[in-house]
Structure 1
Amino acid sequence: MSSSNKSRRHAPQFKIQLCQDIRSGAIARHNAARQHTLPSNLIQLWLSQYDRGELDNEAAEASVVLQCEAQIAALERKVGQLTMELDLAKKAPRLRLVGGRENSPAIAGSQPAEGDGGVA
């Protein structure tokens, strides 16, 4: 089993639907576990939360909203980072040109080096 399967997450809507199906008798708990390859203790946890009202539609919607907000924040950070990199890249050619002009006479040898001594 891969590590991603060990920590997979399930949408609140899926949990609610599964709990509703089990509580209505449409599917048995052990059949649901086998069909969805879920541990029976996880289904029991969801059923307990469902019975306490912790898996209602409002909570599911709030969870989706929180996930979306987190994703938006991550994307905004990425856009900011890329914008800074783009600004730097736009300035880089000018910096290379300025640096190139300053270094080119010394590299080309058009100016005499100090201390050549006697070559005129």
Structure 2
Amino acid sequence: MARHRNHSIQFKRQIVQEYFSGESLHGLARRYDIARNLIRIWIRKHEEGAFDEDVEAVDLIQEYEARIAALERLVGKQALELEFLKGALKTHSGRKTRLHPSSPARWPLRRRRMPADGDCALDLL
């Protein structure tokens, strides 16, 4: 089965520098157990400037901003759920209301006696 590894920018820079200092693709691939084509890709990206520290910092900032946006959406969703549940648990005619999946949120529920099979049944008032 194929292995999928993530290599750091520093590791990629090191491999590219070793290649530029005279090391062969075959030798680097065998020593570090990576594909020669992957080293060629890293060399091309290095020549395009993709391994610069500024580019790395921009990528990191974009990754953080995307994560922050996802967390903000989650917090907003949870805040809406909390407001809904707070509204559903307000008292109705001096009695606490309970949610039931098949009933509207504010209909109060009360317990009936236990049926023979042991399930608890709920009735609408």
Output the TM-score relative to the length of structure 2.
0.58
Alpha-carbon offset, residue 51 of structure 1:
2.1
- 1:41 paired residue number: 37
Output one character per residue of 1:6-28: Cα deviation in whole Å (capped at 9) or x when no partner: xx554444433443344346x76
Larger radius of gyration: 1
Count of residues in Structure 1 that have an aligned counterpart in Structure 2: 99
- 1:86 paired residue number: 82
Equivalent residue in structure 2 for 1:52, among 48, 52, 57:
48
Change over 3 Å in CA distance of 1:82–1:46 after alignment to 2: same
Higher strand share: 2
Output one character per residue of 1:59-110: Cα deviation in whole Å (capped at 9) or x when no partner: 1111111111111111111111111111112122227725227x42xxxxxx
After TM superposition, the structure 1 stretch with the greater mean CA deviation from structure 2, 90-99 or 58-67, is: 90-99
C-alpha contact (below 8 Å) 1:12/1:63 kept by paired residues:
no
1:65 aligns with 2:61: yes
| RMSD of aligned residue pairs (Cα, Å) | 2.9
**Any unmatched runs of 5+ in structure 2?**
98-105, 110-123
**Any unmatched runs of 5+ in structure 1?**
105-120
SS at match of 1:66: helix
Structure with the bigger RCO (C-alpha within 8 Å, sep 6+) is 1
Output the TM-score relative to the length of structure 1.
0.60
SS at match of 1:38: coil
Higher helix share: 1
- 1:76 paired residue number: 72
- Tell me, in whole angstroms, the C-alpha distance in 1 between the residues paired with 2:17 and 2:72: 37
SS at match of 2:51: coil
